[in-house]
């Protein structure tokens, strides 16, 4: 594909710098720059952007940066830098919005199983307790620490027992941040598929090339299936609804731009 385009070059540099810093400073970088649920004590407004430059490991950043280069380059050459960057960050923000909205739904489910036993403020105070031992969240630690919060507010901790699974899931949702450019990348994939539908993609796990107009919708459908059912063929720890959200916002922008035939000069 030749020389790196300007926007993609700068995105690659920033992502690599964040990845190096994350390996040097670990938990502090996650606390500051990952996307936490708004009711988490670590949440800051800038995280809706900064999480797009954070990644969970070497394969995560390699896959995302390869996809950014491979699918983003023809788009930036077609659109120009400003329009490409606008699209990229808009898809990423859309992914964060959908991801957080789905998480809010799960958090609300946890609150509703308690009826009117506690206030919403106490509910989130209870969920914000620490339950980690190493890299694992431990149910017993959550129960012990959540019980202390409830007791301190004159609430019987027994309400945890009958609803423990739903509450522990809500706790895990609250305490698990989102990282990665994947939402924005899925927007890029949609834009590529709509702009170059008959491009043939050569994939490691398929012995024959497959056209973009077939592969990309199937990929998004698999993410939607995994998000709804909880069964993931891609492995655990994936924010499937962030992928779907990035794809959805990418599709909406592409549909709007094609319908209105945006004047290219406005992006110069």
List pLDDT tens digits, range 43-98.
Answer: 999 999 999 999 988 999 999 999 999 999 999 999 999 999 999 999 999 999 99
pLDDT at 263: 56
Give the DSSP letter string of the chain: --SPPHHHHHHHHHHHHHHHHHHHHTHHHHHHHSB--TTSTT--TTHHHHGGG--SSHHHHHHHHHHHHHHHHHHHHHH-HHHHHHHHHHHHHHHHHHHHHHHHHHHHHHHHTTTTSS-HHHHHHHHTS--EETTEE-HHHHHHHHHHHHHHTT--TTHHHHTHHHHHHHHHHHH--B-SSHHHHHHHHHHHHHHSTTPEE--TT-SS-EEHHHHHHHHHHHHHHHHHHS--TT-SS--HHHHHHHHHHHHHHHHHHHHHT--GGGG-
Mean pLDDT for the chain?
Answer: 89
pLDDT value at 225 more than 80 = yes
pLDDT value at 230 more than 80 = no
List pLDDT tens digits, range 143-186.
Answer: 999 999 999 998 888 888 888 888 898 998 899 999 999 999 99
């Amino acid at each position: 594909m030749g020389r790196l385009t300007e926007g993609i070059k700068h995105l690659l540099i920033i992502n690599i710098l964040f990845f190096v810093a994350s390996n040097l400073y670990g938990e502090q970088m996650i606390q500051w720059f990952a996307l936490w649920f708004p009711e988490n004590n670590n949440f800051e407004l800038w995280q809706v952007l900064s999480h797009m430059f954070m990644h969970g490991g070497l394969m995560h950043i390699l896959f995302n940066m390869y996809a950014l280069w491979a699918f983003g380059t023809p788009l930036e050459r077609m659109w120009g830098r400003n329009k490409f960057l606008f699209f990229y960050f808009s898809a990423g923000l859309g992914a964060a919005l959908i991801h957080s909205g789905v998480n809010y739904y799960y958090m609300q489910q946890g609150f509703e199983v308690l009826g009117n036993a506690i206030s919403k403020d106490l509910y989130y105070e209870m969920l914000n307790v620490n339950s980690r031992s190493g890299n694992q969240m431990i149910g017993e630690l959550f129960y012990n620490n959540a019980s202390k919060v409830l007791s301190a507010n004159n609430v019987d901790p027994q309400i945890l027992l009958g609803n423990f699974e739903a509450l522990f899931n809500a706790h895990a949702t609250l305490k698990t941040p989102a990282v990665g450019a994947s939402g924005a990348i899925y927007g890029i994939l949609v834009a590529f598929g709509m702009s170059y539908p008959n491009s043939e993609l050569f994939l490691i796990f398929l012995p024959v090339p497959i056209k973009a107009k077939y592969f990309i919708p199937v990929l998004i459908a698999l993410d939607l299936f995994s998000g709804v059912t909880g069964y993931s063929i891609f492995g655990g720890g994936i924010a499937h609804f962030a992928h779907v959200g990035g794809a959805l916002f990418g599709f909406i922008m592409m549909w709007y731009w094609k319908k209105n035939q945006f004047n290219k000069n406005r992006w110069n």
